[in-house]
Chain A
Amino acid sequence: MTEPLLRVRDLKTYFVTERGGGTARAVDGVSFDVYPGETLGIVGESGCGKTVTSLSILRLIPEPPGHILSGSLIEFEGRNLLTLRPPELRAIRGNEVAMIFQEPMTSLNPVFTVGDQIAEAAIVHQRLPRKQARARAIEMLRLVGIPDPEERVDHYPHQLSGGMSQRVMIAMALVCHPKLLIADEPTTALDVTIQAQILELLDRLQAELGMAVLLITHDLGIVAGTSDRVVVMYAGQVVETAATPELFAHPLHPYTEGLMAAVPRIDTRVSQVRGRLHTIPGQVPAASGWPAGCRFHPRCPYAWDRCTAEEPPLLDAGRGEPGSHAVRCWLLTEPRRRTPQA
């Protein structure tokens, strides 16, 4: 088997809460691998820790109030990013590992042209002279499908639509041909037809450039259409991980199961449409006080006393290759407790 490009082990990122004294355990022991060329989707609702995980990888967490606990490991091609000195880290950021964010309009600097912003990474990392960097910026704009790139290169961000801004962000991220692209909700702020364009673009660029993508999203539909493997997060932890077809065919964690049933769908038959949607009762707990035992137990339809007392580890589901489908749930030890729900 190939070596993973990125290994995250037992990542813990905590924040000191505003009123002092409190600790929000936003990311609390997260582990996963990203292999070269693949797309790994991290899916979860707000507050589950998916964005903090992605920011921790490039050490973009403001410290204080945040800090990554010792014992956490983030290894990119064998180098632990958490122990790198700032200049070494800068050589990786935006070069070998790049990132795009949810809000393209606010992630671009309004006082520089898009050309300047795309060229910056090429000048810094590849030491290209200005003129060549500009030519490279034009080439990148063409690659991401922006019409009239020679003209657009001198435009300012406010002259671009949301979809165009996200294309520019992608051009900026890819200018150094990174091996890993971290995309944090890259299409959430966009309309559905523009979202389809951006997802298609990412798919094409990934195939052309052979990079790996870590895709952070709340949308199960996007994960289903783009990712090879999926990590489901809840309350700062990984609760389930599997290959995409396996996860959608056999969701085993009650949270995954509930989430899939709660999504209104466009592809169901008419007779199934107008009924009640399945709901997960209650709401996501706060990071300053995760429930004891299994963190999902207060909302879980199957929970019993063990779940309230003892925190389950990630257990192998025994499907496919060992470790390929893992679930943080005691039901795996007592499958008969999974009774059909009313």
Chain B
Amino acid sequence: MTTVAPLVEVDGLVKHFPGDRGPWPLARRRRPVRAVDGVSLRIAAGRTLGLVGESGCGKSTVGRSILRLIEPDAGRVVLDGVDVLACRPRELRGLRRRMQIVFQDPYGSLNPRMTVRQALREPLVIHHLARGSEIDRRIAGLLEEVGLDPAFADSYPHELSGGQRQRVGIARALSVEPSFLVLDEPVSALDVSVQAQVLNLLSELQQRRKLTYLFIAHDLAVVRHSADEVAVMYLGKIVEQGPAETLYRAPRHPYTASLLSAVPVPDPRASRQRIVLQGDVPSPANPPPGCPFHPRCPHPRKNDRCRTEPPPLRAVGPDQLAACHFAEEPM
């Protein structure tokens, strides 16, 4: 897709969570949840891949499996030539300096008993990045870089607003000078005016530090603003992938088209054709046979083939991939 060698390569990633036994001791195990079912991605250095989908589609599991915060069942993850899944614990700890994550919930991901200084100090000490007075200088520098007054270093998380907490979360991820960041819904807990501030900050940091982002979000407008490439997930699989411009202008998978048409547009004059999908997302423990999207698919050409034969993710245009038997035909 790009001539630059990718910084992050993911091939055939699989994560199935075993089914629980349910409330009764003798009950049979439930079916495993196929959270991620063969996902492959490439992210070029310095670029942003947006990973979008609805809740339960497996997008967060992909992000966490890449960092091995969750151990995937199968697949290959390569970060800058290093096979992440083959790393032993000691090597993995070293690798964690190069890949970090920013979580959605800045309330839940900061320890309420630690001041901002303590939270930022920990990674610096663990990775032997600074000692003595150098630590405080680094902390002040990090806070300034994310647009916070260094005086916040002695605050506790509850004394900060949501936007300030998210800035601390970003500072903590940056403290070890990573090259790759997984941003897992980094702005969805924030108000619109604050969300814009954090999105601008993320794009400034990307330029200044040459960061590579995997930007996971359910909000397609936010992803459109942030991503160079976009991958759309449904029931553990990528159903469409391509450059952001192309994918938003001319989606080829009926799921992408429906998702885009469902986003409310802040313009009362906008006359758009809305595709309202029927029904709910099926359970990832029991995905439909054939194309996983077929029970909700509004495509006029939908037929028996969709019900039996899973469509492969295939090239449907320059740099664009879609998993639909009828991707070339108009909706």
- 4 further A-B pairs in the complex, CB-CB below 8 A; given A220-B266, A244-B268: A224-B266, A224-B267, A264-B199, A277-B196
Whether the pair B199, A277 counts as a contact (CB closer than 8 A) is yes
Complex: chain B residue closest to A217, CB-CB: B264
When chains A and B are docked, how far (Å) is the Cα of A258 from the Cα of B269? 20
When chains A and B are docked, how far (Å) is the Cα of A225 from the Cα of B270? 9
A-B contact count (CB 8 A): 130
When chains A and B are docked, how far (Å) is the Cα of A259 from the Cα of B249? 25
Partner of A266, one of B224, B280, B281: B224
Which residues from chain B contact A200 at a C-beta distance below 8 Å?
Answer: 274, 276
When chains A and B are docked, how far (Å) is the Cα of A273 from the Cα of B199? 13
Complex: chain B residue closest to A258, CB-CB: B193
Contact residues, B22-60 vs A (CB, 8 A): 54-55
Q: 1/0 per position for A215-246, CB-CB distance to B under 8 A?
A: 00011111111000000000000000000110
Which residues from chain A contact B258 at a C-beta distance below 8 Å?
Answer: 193
Closest chain-A Cβ to B195's Cβ sits at a distance in Å of 7
Given contacts A191-B54, A248-B268, whether A279 and B197 have CB atoms under 8 Å apart is yes
Which residues from chain A contact B274 at a C-beta distance below 8 Å?
Answer: 196, 200
Whether the pair B222, A264 counts as a contact (CB closer than 8 A) is yes
Closest chain-B Cβ to A169's Cβ sits at a distance in Å of 16
A-B complex: 5 closest residue pairs judged by Cβ atoms: A221-B264, A191-B54, A196-B262, A264-B225, A280-B193
B163 contacts partner chain A, Cβ-Cβ < 8 Å? yes
Whether the pair A263, B54 counts as a contact (CB closer than 8 A) is no
A284 contacts partner chain B, Cβ-Cβ < 8 Å? yes
Whether the pair A276, B259 counts as a contact (CB closer than 8 A) is no
Which residues from chain A contact B55 at a C-beta distance below 8 Å?
Answer: 191
Which residues from chain B contact A1 at a C-beta distance below 8 Å?
Answer: none
Whether the pair B269, A161 counts as a contact (CB closer than 8 A) is no
Which residues from chain B contact A193 at a C-beta distance below 8 Å?
Answer: 54, 258-259, 262, 276-277
A265 contacts partner chain B, Cβ-Cβ < 8 Å? yes
Secondary structure of the A contact surface, majority rule: helix
B5 contacts partner chain A, Cβ-Cβ < 8 Å? no
Closest chain-A Cβ to B53's Cβ sits at a distance in Å of 9
A111 contacts partner chain B, Cβ-Cβ < 8 Å? no
Given contacts A197-B276, A263-B192, A276-B200, whether A221 and B265 have CB atoms under 8 Å apart is yes
Given contacts A200-B276, A277-B200, whether A267 and B193 have CB atoms under 8 Å apart is no
Partner of B245, one of A270, A277, A280: A270
A80 contacts partner chain B, Cβ-Cβ < 8 Å? no
Residues of B within 8 A of A (CB): 54-55, 161, 163-164, 191-197, 199-200, 203, 218-222, 224-226, 244-245, 248-249, 258-270, 272, 274, 276-278, 280-281
Complex: chain A residue closest to B48, CB-CB: A274
Which residues from chain A contact B267 at a C-beta distance below 8 Å?
Answer: 224, 248, 267
Classify chain A's interface size.
35 or more
Which residues from chain A contact B222 at a C-beta distance below 8 Å?
Answer: 264
A300 contacts partner chain B, Cβ-Cβ < 8 Å? no
Closest chain-A Cβ to B193's Cβ sits at a distance in Å of 4
A10 contacts partner chain B, Cβ-Cβ < 8 Å? no
Which residues from chain A contact B224 at a C-beta distance below 8 Å?
Answer: 264-266, 273
Closest chain-A Cβ to B114's Cβ sits at a distance in Å of 22
Which residues from chain A contact B260 at a C-beta distance below 8 Å?
Answer: 266
Which residues from chain B contact A191 at a C-beta distance below 8 Å?
Answer: 54-55, 218, 281
Whether the pair B54, A248 counts as a contact (CB closer than 8 A) is no
Whether the pair A224, B265 counts as a contact (CB closer than 8 A) is yes
Given contacts A191-B54, A248-B268, A264-B199, whether A45 and B262 have CB atoms under 8 Å apart is no
A194 contacts partner chain B, Cβ-Cβ < 8 Å? yes
**A-B contacts, 28 listed (Cβ < 8 Å):** A161-B280, A191-B218, A193-B259, A193-B276, A195-B264, A196-B276, A199-B264, A220-B266, A221-B263, A221-B264, A221-B265, A224-B265, A224-B270, A225-B264, A225-B268, A245-B269, A248-B266, A262-B195, A263-B221, A266-B248, A270-B248, A273-B244, A279-B200, A280-B193, A280-B196, A281-B197, A283-B163, A283-B193
Which residues from chain A contact B191 at a C-beta distance below 8 Å?
Answer: 45-46, 218, 284
A115 contacts partner chain B, Cβ-Cβ < 8 Å? no
A104 contacts partner chain B, Cβ-Cβ < 8 Å? no
Closest chain-B Cβ to A40's Cβ sits at a distance in Å of 14
Closest chain-B Cβ to A261's Cβ sits at a distance in Å of 8
When chains A and B are docked, how far (Å) is the Cα of A274 from the Cα of B206? 13
Whether the pair B218, A273 counts as a contact (CB closer than 8 A) is no
Closest chain-B Cβ to A69's Cβ sits at a distance in Å of 27
When chains A and B are docked, how far (Å) is the Cα of A270 from the Cα of B18? 43
Contact residues, A268-316 vs B (CB, 8 A): 270, 273-274, 276-281, 283-284
Whether the pair B196, A192 counts as a contact (CB closer than 8 A) is no
A163 contacts partner chain B, Cβ-Cβ < 8 Å? yes
Complex: chain A residue closest to B277, CB-CB: A193
Which residues from chain B contact A225 at a C-beta distance below 8 Å?
Answer: 264-265, 268
Which residues from chain B contact A220 at a C-beta distance below 8 Å?
Answer: 192, 266
Contact residues, A161-199 vs B (CB, 8 A): 161, 163-164, 191-197, 199
Whether the pair B220, A266 counts as a contact (CB closer than 8 A) is yes
Complex: chain B residue closest to A220, CB-CB: B266
Which residues from chain B contact A224 at a C-beta distance below 8 Å?
Answer: 264-268, 270
Partner of B196, one of A161, A164, A196, A262: A262
Complex: chain A residue closest to B204, CB-CB: A276
Which residues from chain A contact B218 at a C-beta distance below 8 Å?
Answer: 191-192
When chains A and B are docked, how far (Å) is the Cα of A62 from the Cα of B263? 35
When chains A and B are docked, how far (Å) is the Cα of A220 from the Cα of B258? 20
Which residues from chain A contact B277 at a C-beta distance below 8 Å?
Answer: 193, 196-197
Interface centre among A244, A270, A279, A280 (most CB of B within 10 A): A279
When chains A and B are docked, how far (Å) is the Cα of A199 from the Cα of B55? 19
